Amino acid sequence: MTSKWLYGRNVVLTGCSTGMGKEILLILVKKYGCNVMGIARNKAKLDELKKELGDKFSYRRINISSLDDWKNFAKELEDMGFMTDILINNAGMIQPFGQFNDLTDDQIKKVVDTNLLSVVYSCKAMLPTIKKSKYGYICNVASASAILPVGGESIYSATKGGVWALTECLAQELRGFGIGVSCVMPGPVKTDIYKAREGESGPKADSLVESVGITAQTAGKRIVKAIRKGKTRVVTDGVARLMDFGMRVCPATTCKMTGNLMKKFSPKLASFKPIYQEQFDRKDEIKKMKKERNKQVYKKLKDVPQGAFANDDVANI
């Protein structure tokens, strides 16, 4: 693949109106002369981008969590003669920080639909067209949380892990067709995604992101560079690389240490408080429960009571 292959390509880009998506869009149009069909929800921002970029940019406001919408969108592009070379799945959302069991069914569904199913559906709908391109390419933006799952972000981490696994499988399946595939795993990026965290009223403890995160401009440049070079696995920044290193060298210890550090600093970081607050509130009760639990351990098989409901803990169910 020539290093100049990216110039003039037809691109479908989700989440293009803000953050990393906007930066990717600007680079693709202004630096590489790409024709970009953007997908996002904010019409005002999309109209501003259209005014700035002109005929090189068009947009649609589809439901990315709907397979039917993706199929109709793919058909529309084909009918209008827009033969997609590159698909970039950048759109995503973050759940409220907190314990898994405290998430509502609607919150879980929304994160799964937005982060995972939208990627599955877009790849399913757009792949037939991409296969016809001389320079077909798929780039899925996951997260460093796919490498190192983070407590308090259970569904987010699960969906991004799913995106990573899907992308790796696509890379294996499509290599023989000459189609490039990238999975991007950024660490903290200074975008509005944290401020728009569902269920929270504002940028609570995002000082952590501000202090260690990279800018959206930097992330956008690195993502486009990775696509141009055809890199399958893209770890964009120092925090993500540290998480990656830890999980490669000592995964069990890294996961445990991450949880311990988050718990230690949770009193000082508002975002982490919902994850561990119950443990702090019930500290004495939990300590007593652990002691009682140890007393109930049977040391040998012969000590186990006979009968399905011999254990007092389940007899009263």
The residue count for the chain: 317
**In this structure, which amino acid lies at residue 115?**
N
Contacts 24+ apart (CB under 8 A), 146-150: 146/185, 147/185, 147/235, 147/240, 147/243, 147/244, 147/247, 148/243, 148/244, 148/246, 148/247, 148/254, 148/255, 148/258, 149/255, 150/258, 150/262
Domain carrying residue 103: 10-276
Residue 212: pLDDT above 90? no
Residue 27 inside a domain? The answer is: yes
205 belongs to a structural domain: yes
What would the mean pLDDT of 121-137 be, rounded to a whole number?
96
Least confident of 87-91, 95-99, 171-175: 95-99
Nearest Cα to Cα of residue 128 among 201, 202, 53, 78: 78
What is the value of pTM for the model shown?
0.88
| C-alpha closest to that of 38 among 77, 93, 80 | 77
Does some domain include residue 130?
A: yes
Over residues 40-61, mean pLDDT: 97
Tell me, yes or no, whether 317 lies in a domain.
Answer: no
Lowest-pLDDT range of 25-29, 50-54, 135-139, 271-275: 271-275
How deeply is 245 buried, as exposed, middle or buried, from its count of CB atoms within 10 A (0-12, 13-18, 19+)? middle
User: Does residue 296 fall inside a structural domain?
Assistant: no
119: pLDDT strictly greater than 70: yes
Is 90's pLDDT higher than 90? yes
pLDDT digits (tens, 9 = 90+) for 139-165: 999 999 999 999 999 999 999 999 999
In a domain, 115, yes or no: yes
pLDDT value at position 213?
A: 78
Instruction: Report the domain count for the chain.
Output: 1
Is 301 within a domain?
Answer: no
109 lies in some domain: yes
- Predicted confidence at residue 294, as pLDDT, reads 82
CATH number at 17 reads: 3.40.50.720
Mean pLDDT of 187-212: 58
**Which amino acid, residue 89?**
N
Overall average pLDDT of the 63-74 stretch: 97
Encode pLDDT of 218-246 as tens digits.
999 999 999 999 999 999 999 999 999 99
**Rounded distance between C-alpha atoms, residue 167 and residue 139, angstroms:** 8
